[in-house]
Amino acid sequence: MKEIGLQLYTIRDFMKNEEDIRESFQKMRKYGYTQAQTAGCAIPYADFGRIAKEEGIQIVGTHDNFNLMVSDFDQALENHMILGTTNMGIGGNRSSSVDEVKAFIEKANMIGEKAAKYGMKFTYHNHSHEFFRWENGKTTMDMLVEGLNPANTSFVLDTYWVQYGGGDVREWIEKLAGRIDILHLKDMKISWSKDQPATPQITEVGNGNLNWESILKTAAKCGVKYYVVEQDNNYSVNCFASIKSSAEYLKKIVN
């Protein structure tokens, strides 16, 4: 892991205008982040891409508009080319039946096939609901692995949500060897009080219970391309203190 990135949803409250975006990128660089994955663009893509380039941040993927990719692929393609990324991604999909999962896979493969002509891939980010088991005996995740074309699609595997869904993080990295362009580094801690049951919570990388040294070794062995920190909530002080803490921990265990 030579470089680390940030899923910009982590600092979403500071990505709403040009001035805040530039300042946020500058803070990221200060803490050691050189890459980013978008969570939508609050300003025009051309301006977003320009500011990222000026501040030394490489856009390695997106969480973008799936409906636009389906209905107006050319516009979605242009947006991603402006950002300079080869990963056209979405933040997930909720299906209410096996047939809906199959329909989604068909659309995703169509996008991936079109994207491949331009050297791009369609990328899918998991949450925990993909580990729900349907009446056919398979989880949504099983169906995605089987159905998505590995030649032009890939996964953004989220460590926290795999663990939360009852999966084994390292096993899933191995299962998807060669198919993970982006690995989301997201830690899990347990919140507990005598009056409430233990509850899993998102926390800074290194502040929870995931075995990061082993996870990162497995990821390197299995060809993960980009390592992207994401923290949805539960910041120790604020979102910037949290991304600083995660970066410091990662530098410590990989050096």
What pLDDT score was predicted for residue 196? 83
pLDDT above 80 for 1: no
Write down the pLDDT at residue 194.
82
Contact between 255 and 214 under an 8 Å Cβ cutoff? The reply is no
Residue 201 β-bridge partners: 189
The label of the residue with tokens 């890459």 reads 35
pLDDT in tens, 146-177: 999 999 999 999 999 999 999 999 999 999 99
Amino acid at 104: F
Query: Could you give the CA distance from residue 115 to residue 46 in angstroms, rounded to a whole number?
Result: 20
The residue among 215 and 191 whose pLDDT is bigger is 215
Q: Report the half-sphere exposure of 72 (CA within 13 A, side-chain side).
A: 8
Domains of the chain in sequence order: 4-254 (3.20.20.150)
pLDDT tens profile 230-254: 999 999 999 999 999 999 999 998 8
Q: What is the pLDDT of residues 60-100, one digit of tens each?
A: 999 999 999 999 999 999 999 999 999 999 999 999 999 99
Looking at every residue in the chain, the average pLDDT score rounds to: 97
* Rg over CA atoms, the chain: 18
- Percent of the chain scored above 90 by pLDDT? 95
Q: How far is CA 96 from CA 102, 103, 112, 132, 249, in A?
A: 11, 11, 23, 11, 39
- Cβ–Cβ under 8 Å, residues 104 and 171: no
Q: φ, ψ for residue 175 (rounded to 5)?
A: -60, -35
Q: Give the mean pLDDT of 119-135.
A: 97
* Whether the predicted pLDDT of 135 surpasses 80: yes
Structure tokens at 237: 């002080």
131 pLDDT above the threshold of 90: yes
Q: Tell me, what's the pLDDT at 146? A: 98
User: Of the candidates 73, 80, 90, 168, which has an alpha carbon nearest to the alpha carbon of residue 124?
Assistant: 90
Q: Please say if the pLDDT value at position 218 is more than 70.
A: yes
Beta carbons within 10 angstroms of residue 115's beta carbon: 23
Burial of 43-64, coded b for 16+ CB within 10 Å and e otherwise, reads eebeebbebbeebebbbbbbbb
Residue 2 binned pLDDT confidence (cut-offs 50, 70, 90): confident
Which of 56, 66, 59 lies closest to 81, judged by CA? Answer: 59
pLDDT attached to residue 24: 98
Please give the backbone phi and psi of residue 169, each rounded to the nearest 5 degrees, phi first. Answer: -60, -50
Return the pLDDT at 197.
85
Which pLDDT score is estimated for 255? Answer: 63
pTM above 0.85, yes or no: yes
